Structure 1
């Protein structure tokens, strides 16, 4: 078995030209969709939520585009590249089921509740669901914190791929990504963002599937992959690698506690992510056929391609490059996916991959930054100063979008996270644990109260902060990432249900508005 591995290649003219053309087409499409969308919205509410007339195909593809982020398209591949088969628990296998519960549990309910409550954001929906301005403000602040952390990971993914194909300094790699995101966010609002994310979602599903299948064919099948990994390091072949520490992030690969936490992380984060659930705010009312179409679109474009892209690509990249990619201090193992595209497909495939990955990172980043801007303008300023004009809110929103793009740009430039997917995993765990209960379970349980929701937001935010220190911030780590997930999800469940049971539910008038008799019975059950 050969032990000669490829090193990081120097960018070729074909790689640079093809990638720039792909990115230019992406930017042109974003600007076009933004300009077309700008003709449709006439008020700040329509800027935030559109006209609630978007069908299941665009909604499903937009959910795919929101979910297939820099995490899925780049960061998760890096996990498998670094630790081998045991990383597939985190990187790919649970993707098959993680995103579909979002559609089952949140799609029609998000649209229904936001329309009945007259809300334009997820945060506003929560505030009005519980008749509490204080809760709405608290949720907005908590979302800002978690989405900022998550946005750093998206920006690193975009910057990593630009570095891979151009060799430009990190400053320019990241700045290009920020400029692209600001332009179409400022132009298009919710509708423009939804359409752009939908288009890139379809493209990502295609590119991810092609690259995953082609990587397996190029490697000669899993038998050859297994032989190559065994020759490098036998522990790369373990589905649960006991040689890795059972504390810190590696618990997800080395311990049954961590592995069992993985499906909980994926399901709660998929259902609880505000940038995922927000894809349903502007959706039209679905009939049964529309709902089946929505489920099929999401599963076919997000589930299978992501599993192939993350899992097989990480293994084949390790087979081809060995540990060589770990030597790069700025981007490290997050170079695995773009470098694999170069190694097996040359300039053509990496140009497609670059276009897809830039779209993946920027689409999800834009969805989060849009929410962050609305958290301040709609969910805090408009809430407490309702006389504020639409023009003032729009102008402030444009400034906030620039600010919320610059801050992760600066952090990623100065102190990039070592391993993208695991860094983002902390934000995913916090968002998922909090908003799985506060948002989605509140659609179904009539007895949920603002006290239960408040305690859950406070506990989840503090626990995630402490968990970040315990898992990432000290050496050696105090506890494992899987254990941290159980602490988060268990504590949020106790605070949500316990706080609700000891306090008064929202007004009967509101409950009658939101729940018919059949739904009330389900809530009591």
Structure 2
């Protein structure tokens, strides 16, 4: 216990120290939100990866999908690396950097408002982002708190509150630059931690070969067969150790949600706004992909052996396992030093994701709802012009409001985490489904296609949010939250494309002016 507490205290002191050191660079809006658009490839790549993978993946997704799909759950990690990292950087990185810098966009809602010339889109996008980032944040709290409860014996509620306070401290102090530096430190811990834990856990099962052999003998339990989804209806012996598992199509839906979804999440895409230049993007692509392959691939690979450990608790009323307890139960028998490493691993992953989420939410609310226009400050502008003194005053006020909203956002998501309505994986499915379902298609197509119309963007917002909310209100009667999120994302492309064909186009002059940024490169 002394070792666990000591390592955790050292780690937390370092994160707060980084926030204090970075505070001078967080005085302006660009400095607080984007790190002055001068963050290098290593910091950006690790910030992308650590924001991507948190306790939601390590505890929630790895446990639940490892149990359902066995060793084939590893494909989710491969998809995260290839689609969620490699292709995301190749397709989005350069164009996002150039266009957002050209139109002076700082947030994703700001992009929609400026790219399509519609302040209503900016307003709607900022509200969607704020609302649906909350359940994802709550899921992160739940994941890390369950690991802390296992490793330290501290009640779940206290863990969640402590994490909320510590994350708030270093984000409020140092903004994005502090977050990026801490992400780098936390990323190194994650790389070392996941590889070590996998080796030790498999060794406890007699080694890799023996563990795979035992997974080949694993079959669905009586409780599995009560699963109303029919996931194991056509199960064959050895499916849990096969290449594609017992339900390939269901597995594909998870791969799509967790991999393609990152392309439309404000906290992920925002990383491309802040990177220094094109050469940094090329290096960042390689770093980010390798990071994802090790961390995500390792998490799902580890979770795929969950059936070799004691069966998790089952709730007969809901016909559901306590999926979020699977990974913690796999780690309970580890030596204290390794449990300390696991706690630091999940703590690192979760604090980086929390920092990214709260920074994205607060900046969106401040820049896209409260201060949509510099000239909206009544009494501070004379003759339509803003002098340097007033401009500096406005900048300071914006940063102050963002810091206040960080506290508000953390408190709100903490309330949900203390009274969670769903499993971690379902919370993430709702969040990613609504956000990426609404934002992915109009953002990606808006970078490449001049023909996207304003009405098509509105239609996609309604589609992504509408489908997710309707399914949630009907008790997931249409689809489970994971598959619903995947359908929302992919369907958004059809919505934007078809509606754009039959609705009025944006003025060619304005569109050409926006796309002129690509002609220089």
TM-score (norm 2): 0.85
Of residues 360, 364, 374 in structure 2, which corresponds to 1:375?
A: 364
Structure 1 unaligned spans of 5+: 1-13, 521-525
- C-alpha change, 1:223 and 1:53, in structure 2 (3 Å) is same
Of residues 258, 261, 266 in structure 2, which corresponds to 1:269?
A: 261
Alignment of 1:139 onto 2:125: yes
Of residues 189, 192, 199 in structure 2, which corresponds to 1:206?
A: 192
- C-alpha change, 1:366 and 1:133, in structure 2 (3 Å) is same
Of residues 457, 464, 467 in structure 2, which corresponds to 1:460?
A: 464
Aligned mates of 2:47, 2:417 — CA distance in 1:
26
Q: CA deviation at 1:43?
A: 1.8
User: 8 Å contact 1:76–1:90 — kept in the other structure?
Assistant: no
1:128 — aligned with what?
A: 114
1:118 — aligned with what?
A: 104
2:330 — aligned with what?
A: 340
Q: CA deviation at 1:21?
A: 2.5
User: 8 Å contact 1:448–1:500 — kept in the other structure?
Assistant: yes
1:6 — aligned with what?
A: none
Deviations 1:70-93 (A, max 9, x none): 222221221145335177167534
1:11 — aligned with what?
A: none
**Structure 1 residues 370-449: aligned runs within 5 Å:** 370-383=359-372, 386-388=375-377, 389-415=394-420, 417=422, 419-449=423-453
RMSD: 3.1
1:280 — aligned with what?
A: 272
1:9 — aligned with what?
A: none
Alignment of 1:182 onto 2:168: yes
What SS class does the counterpart of residue 37 from structure 2 fall into?
coil
Of residues 80, 84, 95 in structure 2, which corresponds to 1:109?
A: 95
2:389 — aligned with what?
A: none
- C-alpha change, 1:121 and 1:401, in structure 2 (3 Å) is same
State which drifts further: 182-191 or 383-392.
Answer: 383-392
User: 8 Å contact 1:105–1:271 — kept in the other structure?
Assistant: no
Aligned mates of 2:430, 2:256 — CA distance in 1:
13
User: 8 Å contact 2:135–2:416 — kept in the other structure?
Assistant: no
What SS class does the counterpart of residue 99 from structure 1 fall into?
helix
Of residues 288, 294, 298 in structure 2, which corresponds to 1:298?
A: 288
Alignment of 1:157 onto 2:143: yes
What SS class does the counterpart of residue 25 from structure 2 fall into?
coil
Aligned mates of 1:319, 1:255 — CA distance in 2:
19
- C-alpha change, 1:34 and 1:507, in structure 2 (3 Å) is farther
Of residues 52, 69, 73 in structure 1, which corresponds to 2:58?
A: 73
**Structure 1 residues 429-508: aligned runs within 5 Å:** 429-470=433-474, 473=475, 477-481=477-481, 484-485=484-485, 487-508=487-508
Q: CA deviation at 1:491?
A: 3.8
TM-score (norm 1): 0.84
Of residues 8, 11, 15 in structure 2, which corresponds to 1:26?
A: 11
1:7 — aligned with what?
A: none
Of residues 96, 100, 105 in structure 1, which corresponds to 2:81?
A: 96
User: 8 Å contact 2:231–2:247 — kept in the other structure?
Assistant: no
Structure 2 unaligned spans of 5+: 235-243, 378-393
Of residues 244, 253, 260 in structure 1, which corresponds to 2:252?
A: 260
Of residues 303, 308, 312 in structure 2, which corresponds to 1:319?
A: 308
